[in-house]
């Protein structure tokens, strides 16, 4: 009997060791980068700027930010030169939004356009490693070919900034599990149909990664069944904000909001600039990129509203700006 237990134990250890070796050695699913050289037309540069600064807030994760300015606004200088996320935010490791300016040594200066497109939509870095899916590539996978070309055309024109940063360091086992996240985009991705307001809104909501911030997390995972129902906590230094419930629930979500009220809420921040931004306080602390989203066209905001109305209403009361007992600096 003892012998049997021993052999079973040995087998288990071997199996676990094998699984571990498999995870360590596994490379992410990756296709060769496209051999495209993106032509920078004026139209693409403008569309790319809009996607980068407004809809997808690339700058929010890839630019230095000022914690003292409302919404931790990105600084006007150094756009795209990278951002190290502060400790204590509940990430499984040290998270760094890399320098994506065209600097030759510390940015994407040596990357081909195809490699940039692959990183953005498929989550594979130049060297073939899987990117941590906090970089919303699983949503950007739906980005149209023309939109990703526009983005690449735009980031190619960012002023190169020499800014060396450490690499993202994930804890075990997340560092191995993320190898399953990248997926090649194999077919052409057409532009979203703007005439279909709900579908177009869904596209924008994916590009803006609303679900990433507006879904409650538990042990680093979004809670199933609470998509868009808010309550995701963002502790930064001595401040804490929880995201809003943006499902159509009448009591705890935005069910009672008219389309006009929704648009007005965003447009209420339209004059916000780095210079006039209020000082961060617990009562106004947020990571919602109002600075960018408030610049969205009304057509786009109305489409987003139309899509959000189609979500299941989820009852989930959220205290967005809790009064904190902690002393504030």
Token look-up 């510390």 returns 106
Residue carrying structure tokens 């037309």: 41
* Residue 134 in the binding site for ligand HEC (CB under 6 A): yes
Query: Which window, 25-33, 34-42, 57-65, 188-196, contacts ligand HEC (CB under 6 A)?
Result: 57-65
Q: Tell me how long the chain is.
A: 329
φ, ψ of residue 183 in degrees (nearest 5): -140, 130
Q: Binding residue for ligand HEC (CB under 6 A) from 72, 244, 272, 306? A: 244
The 3-state DSSP class for residue 239 equals strand
320 counts as binding ligand HEC under rule CB under 6 A? yes
**Nearest residue to 161 (alpha-carbon basis) of 49, 78, 238, 279:** 78
* Region near ligand HEC per CB under 6 A, out of 13-21, 35-43, 130-138, 179-187: 130-138
Residue 199 and residue 47 in contact, taking contact as beta carbons nearer than 8 Å: no
Interface region with ligand HEC, contact rule CB under 6 A, candidates 11-19, 26-34, 210-218, 267-275: 210-218
| Shortest distance, position 64 Cβ to ligand HEC, whole Å | 14
Please identify which residue in the block is written with the tokens 């502060």: 86
Residue-by-residue DSSP string for 143-196:
S-HHHHHHHHHHHTTSPP-----PPPEEPTTHHHHGGGS-----S--PPP-TTS
CB of 120 to ligand HEC, least distance (A): 5
Three-class DSSP category at 13:
helix
Of the candidate residues 102, 192, 208, 292, the single one contacting ligand HEC (CB under 6 A): 208
Helix axes 259-267, 298-308, angle to 10 degrees: 130
State the number of binding residues for ligand HEC (CB under 6 A): 43
By beta-carbon proximity to ligand HEC, the closer residue of 112 and 274 is 112
User: Of the listed pieces 25-33, 124-132, 215-223, 273-281, which binds ligand HEC according to CB under 6 A?
Assistant: 124-132
Q: Which stretch binds ligand HEC (CB under 6 A): 19-27, 132-140, 156-164, 183-191?
A: 132-140
Task: Please choose, out of 12-20, 179-187, 219-227, 240-248, the segment that lies near ligand HEC by the rule CB under 6 A.
Answer: 240-248
- Site for ligand HEC, residues 10 to 39, rule: CB under 6 A: none
Does position 202 interact with ligand HEC (CB under 6 A)? The reply is: no
Q: Which is nearest to 38 in space by CA: 104, 120, 129, 159?
A: 120
- In degrees and rounded to multiples of 5, residue 94 shows phi and psi of -100, 120
The tokens describing 59, both together, are: 């700058």
Question: How far, in whole angstroms, is CA 192 from its chain's centroid?
Answer: 20
236 binds ligand HEC (CB under 6 A): no
Could you give the C-alpha distances from 285 to 26, 218, 262, in angstroms and in order? 41, 22, 20
User: 196 or 259, CB closer to ligand HEC?
Assistant: 259
Kindly state whether residue 141 participates in binding ligand HEC, applying the rule CB under 6 A.
no
User: In the bound complex, what is the minimum distance in angstroms from residue 186's beta carbon to ligand HEC?
Assistant: 20
Output the CA torsion sign for 290, 291, 292, 297.
positive
Residues 257-286 interacting with ligand HEC (rule: CB under 6 A): 265, 286
Residues of the shown chain interacting with ligand HEC in the complex, contacts defined by CB under 6 A: 52, 56-58, 60-62, 95, 97-98, 100, 116, 119-120, 125, 131-132, 134-136, 151, 155, 167-168, 205, 208-210, 212-214, 234, 241, 243-244, 246, 254, 265, 286-288, 304, 320
């Amino acid at each position: 009997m003892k012998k049997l237990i021993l052999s079973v134990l040995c087998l288990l250890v071997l199996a676990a060791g094998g699984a571990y070796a498999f995870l360590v050695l596994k490379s992410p699913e990756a296709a060769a980068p496209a051999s495209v050289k993106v032509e920078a037309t004026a139209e693409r540069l403008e569309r790319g700027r809009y996607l980068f600064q407004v809809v997808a807030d690339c700058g929010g994760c890839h630019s230095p930010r000022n914690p003292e300015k409302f919404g931790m606004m990105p600084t006007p200088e150094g756009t795209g030169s990278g951002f190290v996320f502060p400790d204590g935010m509940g990430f499984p490791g040290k998270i760094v939004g890399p320098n994506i300016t065209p600097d030759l040594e510390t940015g994407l200066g040596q990357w081909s356009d195809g490699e940039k497109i692959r990183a953005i939509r498929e989550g594979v870095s130049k060297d073939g490693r899987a990117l941590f899916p906090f970089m919303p590539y699983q949503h950007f996978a739906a980005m149209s070919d023309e939109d990703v070309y526009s983005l690449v055309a735009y980031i190619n024109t960012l002023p190169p900034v020499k800014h060396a940063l450490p690499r993202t360091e994930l804890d075990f086992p997340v560092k191995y599990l993320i190898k399953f996240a990248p997926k090649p985009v194999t077919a052409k991705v057409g532009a979203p149909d703007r005439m279909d307001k709900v579908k177009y809104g869904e596209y924008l909501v994916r590009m803006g990664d609303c679900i990433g911030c507006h879904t409650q997390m538990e042990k680093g995972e979004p809670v199933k069944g609470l998509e868009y129902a808010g309550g995701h906590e963002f502790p930064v230094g001595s401040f804490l904000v929880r995201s809003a419930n943006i499902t159509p629930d009448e009591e705890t979500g935005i069910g009672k909001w008219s389309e006009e009220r929704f648009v007005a809420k965003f447009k209420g921040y339209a004059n916000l600039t780095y210079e006039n931004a209020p000082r961060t306080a617990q009562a106004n602390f947020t990571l919602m990129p109002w600075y960018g989203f408030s610049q969205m066209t009304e057509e786009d905001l109305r489409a987003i509203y139309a899509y959000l109305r189609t979500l299941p209403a989820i009852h989930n009361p959220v205290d967005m700006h809790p009064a904190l007992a902690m002393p504030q600096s």
